[in-house]
Amino acid sequence: MSLDKLSEQLKSNATQKMPPVELWDPPYCGEIDLQIKADGQWFHNGTAFKRMSLVKLFASVLKKEADEYFLVTPVEKVKITVEDAPLLITQWIWLDDEQTVMQLTTNLDDTFILSKEHPLTISDDGGLYVTVRRNLMAKVHRNVYYQWVNFAQEVDQENEVALAITSDSEQFILGYLE
C-alpha cells in the first residue's frame, strides 16, 4: 500500500473528527515505511513530514494492538513503527483560578483534562506518560515535567516521599524522592 493511496482513502472518509478505529477490524495489509520518532516527528521513507495536516490525518486513524501500531481504515490495516509514544505532551494550562483542573495539549493539538479518564503513569524507566485517546499514550515532554516539578507537592506514598500534582480531584505521582 502506498502512502498516497492511504491518504486519499482517509480524506474521502473524513466526515468525523476522530474516526471510530476501535470498531474497525480490517484485514492486515502489511507494513509501510512510516516511523514516529521519540521526539514526535513523523517520517516516511526517511523523509520528515512537512504538512502537519497530513500528520494529524494519519494520527486520527492510529491504533495500538498489543505493542504494535497500525494505521487503520475500514478496509485496510498497515503496520508502522513507533520509537516510544506516538504523541507528546507539549503544553498545559490551568483552567481555573484555584489551579484544580489542568488541561494538556499534545504536539498534534489533542486537548484534554488530566484526570481519571486521562491518567498520568510512570514507566519502568521513569518516563511519564498520559493516556490520550483509546489506548494511545503521550510522553510528557521534559520542559513540561520541569514546570510541573516547580509546583508539585511532597506526599507520603506507601512510606516513600513522592512528588505529586493534582488535577480534577485526582493525585498524580511525578516521581519518588530518595
Task: Residue 152: name the closest of 142, 163, 144 by CA.
Answer: 163
Give the tens place of pLDDT for each residue, 143-171: 999 999 999 999 998 899 999 999 999 99
What pLDDT is stored for residue 134 in this prediction?
A: 85
N residues, the chain: 178
What pLDDT is stored for residue 58 in this prediction?
A: 95
Burial of 49 (0-12, 13-18, 19+ CB in 10 A): middle
- In angstroms, the CA 29 to CA 76 distance is 6
Q: State pTM to two decimals.
A: 0.86
Give the tens place of pLDDT for each residue, 84-110: 999 999 999 999 999 999 999 999 999
What pLDDT is stored for residue 158 in this prediction?
A: 86
Q: Which band of pLDDT confidence, cut at 50, 70 and 90, is reported for residue 8? A: low
pLDDT at position 6 over 80? no
As a whole number, mean pLDDT of residues 9-15 equals 49
- Cα angle 37-40-43, degrees, rounded to a multiple of 5: 50
All domains of the chain in start order, with CATH: 3-82 (3.10.540.10), 87-176 (2.30.270.10)
Q: Where are the alpha helices (DSSP H) in the chain?
A: 3-12, 52-59, 142-151
